[in-house]
């Protein structure tokens, strides 16, 4: 359960969108370790859950904004998210209304 690992510990999600997270109710591992076959199968399984998740967009936005470096968030791998975050940061830097 990906999101339980970042909860406040009070048993309730910190953001309302987490109430609808598909990963709350699955045994799929959202934190695959390594780059071998088993890790790739875990990654695919987690992404499959994410693709059916109604809050995937919110999840990915949260992961980018809070620099979640590990695990699967919003159907993205760690490597994919690093690339997306670089783009996201450059877009934020170009928008003078935002401060990071
Ligand atoms: S997109 Fe994936 S990691 Fe994010 S809340 Fe949904 S199931 Fe969980």
Q: What is the pLDDT of residue 59?
A: 97
pLDDT confidence bin for 41, thresholds 50/70/90: very high
Q: Which atom of ligand 1 is nearest to the CA of 46?
A: 2
Domain ranges of the chain: 3-94
With the C-alpha atoms ordered 22, 2, 88, 41, is the resulting torsion angle positive or negative? negative
Mean pLDDT of 5-21: 69
Spell out which residues line ligand 1, taking CB within 6 angstroms: 2-3, 21-23, 30, 49-50, 53, 55-56, 59, 72-75
- Long-range residue pairs from 14-17, CB within 8 A, at least 24 positions apart, any chain: 15/58, 15/62, 17/55, 17/58, 17/59, 17/62
Global pTM? 0.82
Residue 82 in this model has a pLDDT that exceeds 60: yes
Distance 11 CA to ligand 1 centre (A): 17
* Amino acid 94: pLDDT: 84
**pLDDT at position 7 over 50:** no
Compute the mean pLDDT over every residue in the chain, rounded to the nearest whole number.
87
pLDDT of amino acid 14: 76
Instruction: DSSP for 56-76, please give it.
Output: HHHHHHHHHHTT--SS-BTTB
pLDDT for 56 equals 98
């Amino acid at each position: 359960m990906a999101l339980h690992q970042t909860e406040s510990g009070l048993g309730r999600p910190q953001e309302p969108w987490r109430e609808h997270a598909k990963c709350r109710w699955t045994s799929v591992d959202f934190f695959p370790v390594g780059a071998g076959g088993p890790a790739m199968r875990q990654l695919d399984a987690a992404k499959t859950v994410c693709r059916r998740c109604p809050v995937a967009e919110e999840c990915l936005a949260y992961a980018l904004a809070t620099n979640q470096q590990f695990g699967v968030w919003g159907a993205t791998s760690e490597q994919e998210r690093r690339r997306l975050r670089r783009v996201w940061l450059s877009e934020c830097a170009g928008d003078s209304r935002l401060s990071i």
